[in-house]
Amino acid sequence: MTELPVPAGSGLKLGAITSGVSEDLEESLKVLVGKGLRYAELASVWGIDVGHHDEEQVGAIVDMIRRHGCTVPAVSPRSFYELPILDTTAESPAYLDDFETLKRAIDLAKRLGTDIVRAMPFQRPSVIFGSGGAERFLAHQNRLWAALLKLYEGPVAYAEGQGVVIAVETGCDTMVSSCSLAARMARDIASDSLRIMWDTGNNVYSTERQFPDGYEAVRDYLVHVQVKDVRVDLVNASIEFCPLGEGDLADQLAPLADALRADGFDGVVSLENVYRPPGMTAAESFTKSVDTFVAVFG
């Protein structure tokens, strides 16, 4: 595997998801480097999700990353995100298609010198472990979790054979909507090839406090952190993205950064800019969060 340049420095490794600045990779990398962020997480490039680029496009991506002196800490396809857990089996055509996308993303990751590839943990009706009759009336006969573990057997076995790590991202509308559930999944699967990509903003809706509770739950399985801020109105089922430090995570970001430093976290902390106020481009909205991100986590 070809090793790409690793930024110098003794603090946390900071980066951003490139499409949160621009779908034009060249433009995005220029902005990141200008802010001192040389870790470029790839999720979508030129409007195409990773795992769907052709060979010519892959070659161009690899070349641009090298020319800008950046390192790719993780390749983040959307595999298994839109698949409903109750209607999906290991033989479902959509599952097989997403598995192939994951394999292509793994190939891209190897070309880029990283062993971390994101995957998503399926759409959920609800994750409830029922008892006293609740398993019958509210928890789908407790089938959901077993189904999740079964559907991950193939991807984890493939990752083990490829020498890579599947980093399952926490997501509010998926089967792993909290750090507690992410840790449970990692414990139950019990493979070094399955770890956690923690998206702090995605878990607020679960009512789990991200620091210290979320961090304490997931710290032993953590390989990559995505940071964004949100405002949640649970009663009205509402989530609003906002500039970093202006939402529900405002008082938790600095303590989290301190804890990551104290624990010697060796992964990358990546700014995910998904804040999109009306009339503002991604590059413009990126400026509303990046300086706070660097000040807190740098």
Residues 183-222 pLDDT 10s? 999 999 999 999 999 999 999 999 999 999 999 999 999 9
Residue entry with tokens 């997501």: 171
Q: How far is residue 87 CA from its own chain's centroid? A: 24
Query: Would you state the pLDDT for residue 163?
Result: 98
Query: Would you state the pLDDT for residue 116?
Result: 98
Write the pLDDT tens digit of every residue in 102-159: 999 999 999 999 999 999 999 998 777 777 777 777 788 889 999 999 999 999 999 9
Write the pLDDT tens digit of every residue in 211-259: 999 999 999 999 999 999 999 998 888 999 999 999 999 999 999 999 9
Query: Would you state the pLDDT for residue 132?
Result: 77
Query: Would you state the pLDDT for residue 7?
Result: 39
Query: Would you state the pLDDT for residue 138?
Result: 77
Query: Would you state the pLDDT for residue 260?
Result: 98
Write the pLDDT tens digit of every residue in 48-60: 999 999 999 999 9
Instruction: Report percent pLDDT > 90 for the chain.
Output: 87
Query: Would you state the pLDDT for residue 112?
Result: 97
Mean pLDDT of 26-41: 97
Query: Would you state the pLDDT for residue 8?
Result: 39
Query: Would you state the pLDDT for residue 25?
Result: 98
Mean pLDDT of 253-276: 97
Euclidean distance between CA atoms 138 and 134, whole angstroms: 5
With a cut of 60, say whether residue 29 has pLDDT above it: yes
Query: Would you state the pLDDT for residue 140?
Result: 85
Q: What average pLDDT is seen over the chain?
A: 93
Least confident window among 66-80, 86-100, 228-242, 258-272: 228-242
Q: Would you place residue 90 in the very low, low, confident or very high pLDDT band (cuts 50, 70, 90)?
A: very high
